A = this chain, B = another copy of it.
């Protein structure tokens, strides 16, 4: 199995290397691709040095079986043909193909069989969506969900490696009394010791693209266009792991015990939910972990058949690189690759 990572120098690209190594993914060769700027960068993988090649319109993907791509939507669109024309399967982390009806959008714990419909490309969902649907799936299996209201607490690494540097740099300047030297390049305003209700661009309806991703992708992954969803996406000064405060309304009454029971057995979920002993997850629990952590489960006292919960996941890992690698694993298991 020959695997390519496209966008190897980015935050998700680096996470791909970790996840492929950690999971002992069955590969014979790993090839790294990046922009002209990152070409030549060297990274270690299982004790071997790999050099990043420049992504070009050529035949470099001829022998590739799987390309894990995370270089932004415009690059994905521009290079999709180049990557897939000799048969490589492209598992794409960008938003380029997520809403195409004939391209599956897959979270292995939720809709693994959708990989069967692929025509060369499989889309990896948005990080916040993945984290939420892993938790929702096992509630949805007990009763359909009518409505979801979610407010997010998203880590800076969701904006890439540069987001991490910007938070670090701004924090150092504030702590050392050089607040006036702060620069905002990645985030629209200062993120250190601040929160920003603005991720991705604003759309005409007043929601951001990030928020509408959660709406549209959740419906597609759960295969239910009737779910009403409203999201507020907020950046917080946390390095890794997104958190989400979620309120749902189910069609039928579900008890909290039923939820706990389902989630305690759910693959990909770690239930950390025991308020009597002050047990609930925070980003620190989830960072560098594969699972989505769920806690604060309680009846929503403002509506019939309502449930509130809090979920946290490493958005570079389960929210991006891990999910894409798990998609590849599902395809191998199903004999597609």
**CB neighbors of B among A290-309 (8 A):** 295-303, 306, 308
Q: A308 touching B230 by the CB < 8 A rule? A: yes
Is the beta-carbon distance between A206 and B175 smaller than 8 angstroms? no
B206-A256 in contact (CB<8A)? yes
Q: Is the interface of A mostly helix, strand, loop or mixed?
A: mixed
Categorize the interface residue count of chain A.
Answer: 35 or more
In the assembled complex, A190 has its CB within 8 A of some CB on chain B? yes
* Contact residues of A between 224 and 247, Cβ < 8 Å to B: 228-230, 232, 234, 236-239, 243, 245, 247
Give the shortest distance, in Å, between A191 (CB) and chain B (any CB): 9
Query: Does A282 make an interface contact (CB < 8 A)?
Result: yes
Give the contacting residue for A202; candidates B149, B215, B276; CB below 8 A.
B276
Which residues of chain B are within 8 angstroms of A229 by Cβ–Cβ distance?
A: 301-302
Across the interface, do A234 and B153 meet the contact criterion of CB distance under 8 Å? yes
Decide yes or no: A151 and B245 within 8 Å by CB, A282-B189, A310-B197 being known contacts. Answer: yes
- Tell me the nearest residue of chain B to A229, going by C-beta: B302
**Contact in complex: A149, B247 (CB < 8 Å):** yes
Q: Is A205 an interface residue (CB 8 A)?
A: yes
Residues of B within 8 A of A189 (CB): 282, 284
What are the residues of chain B within 8 A of A51 when measuring CB–CB? none
Q: Does A99 contact B (CB under 8 A)?
A: no
Question: Would you call A275 an interface residue if the criterion is a C-beta within 8 Å of the partner chain's C-beta atoms?
Answer: yes
Contacts of A126-179 to chain B: CB distance below 8 A:
147-149, 151, 153, 167-168, 171-172, 175
Which interface residue of A194, A280, A299, A310 has the most chain B CB atoms within 10 A?
A194
Stoichiometry (number of copies): 2
In the complex, are the beta carbons of B206 and A298 less than 8 A apart? yes
Q: Is the CB of B198 within 8 A of A298?
A: no
A236 close to B198 (CB less than 8 A): no
A232 touches B284 (CB 8 A): no
Q: Within 8 Å of chain B (Cβ to Cβ): is A37? A: no
Partner of A232, one of B197, B245, B278: B245
Residue A193 at the chain B interface, CB threshold 8 Å: yes
The answer to whether A206 and B299 touch (CB under 8 A), given A193-B237, A232-B310, A282-B197, is yes
Complex CA distance for A239 and B308, rounded to whole angstroms: 27
A275 to chain B, nearest CB (A): 4
A283 touches B (CB below 8 Å): yes
Q: Does A207 sit at the interface, judged by CB under 8 A?
A: yes
Could you tell me if A239 and B301 are in contact, using CB atoms closer than 8 angstroms? no
A80 interface hit (Cβ, 8 Å): no
Query: What would 5 more interface pairs be, CB under 8 Å, given A206-B299, A230-B300?
Result: A147-B303, A195-B243, A202-B278, A206-B256, A236-B236
List the interface of chain A (C-beta within 8 A of B).
147-149, 151, 153, 167-168, 171-172, 175, 188-190, 193-198, 202, 205-207, 215, 228-230, 232, 234, 236-239, 243, 245, 247, 256, 275-276, 278, 280, 282-284, 295-303, 306, 308, 310
